[in-house]
Amino acid sequence: MKVLIIDDSRTMRRLLASYLAPLAAQTYEAGNGREALDVLEKEEAVDLALVDWDMPVMNGIDFVRTVRGDVRRSAMKLLMVTAHNNMESVTEAITAGADDFLMKPLTEEMVMDKLRMMGVAA
């Protein structure tokens, strides 16, 4: 499985990558949505993206909308991983095209549970 981790915090990207290690996932990292789109141009078969909301250059919601507008990426799962913790944000993310939503702070168990619920982890 190929996973793209998009967050402006390098520490958070590394933490999420470590959580995915038991899945033997091949991970890619990007510091914002624009960098993530560049990664997708090089690595077309990405299965899952973990997307932070608040980032410079291109935020997570704009990234999700852009990806959902690209038919080549229709099968890619998108999980918003963010500190936004209100129902309006959840609704906006799902409406934009995110498959699910996970609120920070988080634990490895929370991430793995959500990935199982999304059908991308056993």
pLDDT at 18: 95
Domains and CATH numbers, the chain: 2-117 (3.40.50.2300)
pLDDT at 74: 87
pLDDT at 84: 83
Q: Residue 61's closest CA among 74, 47, 45, 78?
A: 78
What pTM did the predictor assign? 0.93
Specify the amino acid at residue 52.
D
How far is residue 22's CA from residue 112's CA, in Å, rounded to a whole number? 10
pLDDT at 107: 94
Residues 104/72, Cβ–Cβ less than 8 Å: no
Point out the residues of the chain with pLDDT beneath 70: none
Residues 20/112, Cβ–Cβ less than 8 Å: no
pLDDT at 90: 87
